[in-house]
Amino acid sequence: MSKIVVGRAEVELIDGEVAFVGSPMAAYLDADSEQSGTLQKFRVTTTDGLNHIFGIVCWPAGQPEVISVERIAGLEKYKKFESGGRVSIVETADNKWLAELKVLKYGKQGRPTPHTSNWSELSSILHADAEAFLSSLNPISVGTRQAIDSETNKNKGNLAIKIEPRSYETLAVAYTLTKVLSIMHDLGLAND
């Protein structure tokens, strides 16, 4: 894969799938807490010096997730990914993957936490039309969870992207947009 520019960041898949042992965030009922799955690494670099390896883990008995593998370089604010920033991916009834497009915003505790977002906010940190950009990656669909997966609960208005399983490149780009760029732009602080 070549590098994909995501605002002021670049993303590239590296190394192909490798074996990975760990504990899923969302293991299936009665599944082992430690499992052997696969990991697809991706590198994110930014114009402000971040060089970070993340990974997409596929578990045999748990929902896929994005994890931090190693922060090689970067500002102190990116340390958040070493202890947090893990994201579980929803497996839909039609066996697709759905990732909510939640950003990380600084709150009253002075640390970034996940928050729902909107197209205007995502476009602002991308410096381009976020909906058109994500659509150009050929997902199954982007939009509200209600529109793309018939969600009816409190999450129905949350923005999300629905993809084929193991669409690693698209998932890595969506993660970079919503998590890395939101930290880069200090969302939630008075100067955003």
Lowest mean pLDDT, pick from 12-21, 22-31, 133-142: 22-31
CA distance linking residue 184 with residue 32, whole number of Å: 36
Query: Where does the chain have alpha helices with state H?
Result: 80-83, 119-126, 130-135, 145-149, 168-175, 181-184
Task: Judge whether 7 and 126 are in contact, CB under 8 Å.
Answer: yes
User: What would the mean pLDDT of 118-122 be, rounded to a whole number?
Assistant: 97
Q: What percent of the chain lies above the pLDDT cut of 70? A: 98
Distances (CA, A) of 140 to 96, 98, 149, 162, 180: 9, 10, 10, 5, 23
Residue 137 has pLDDT above 90, yes or no: yes
Quote the pLDDT of residue 110: 83
User: What pLDDT score does 191 carry?
Assistant: 55
Q: What is the largest CA-CA distance in the chain?
A: 46
Query: Can you read off the two tokens belonging to residue 106?
Result: 């600084």
Give the pLDDT confidence score for residue 76 in this predicted structure.
93
The residue among 184, 172, 177 whose CA lies nearest residue 3 is 172
| Mean pLDDT, the chain, whole residue set | 94
Q: How far apart are CA 35 and CA 76, in angstroms?
A: 32
Report domain extents, the chain.
Answer: 4-184
Rounded to whole angstroms, the Cα distance separating 54 from 71 reads: 8
Q: What is the pLDDT of residues 148-187, one digit of tens each?
A: 999 999 999 999 999 999 999 999 999 999 999 999 999 9
Say if residues 14 and 4 touch (Cβ distance below 8 Å): no
179 residue type, one letter: K
The residue among 131, 165, 132 whose CA lies nearest residue 63 is: 165
Instruction: Give pLDDT, residue 189.
Output: 87
Per-residue pLDDT of 63-114, as tens digits, reads 999 999 999 999 999 998 988 889 999 999 999 999 999 999 998 888 899 9
Count of C-beta atoms within a 10 Å radius of residue 134:
26
14-95-28-69 Cα dihedral, nearest 10 degrees = 10
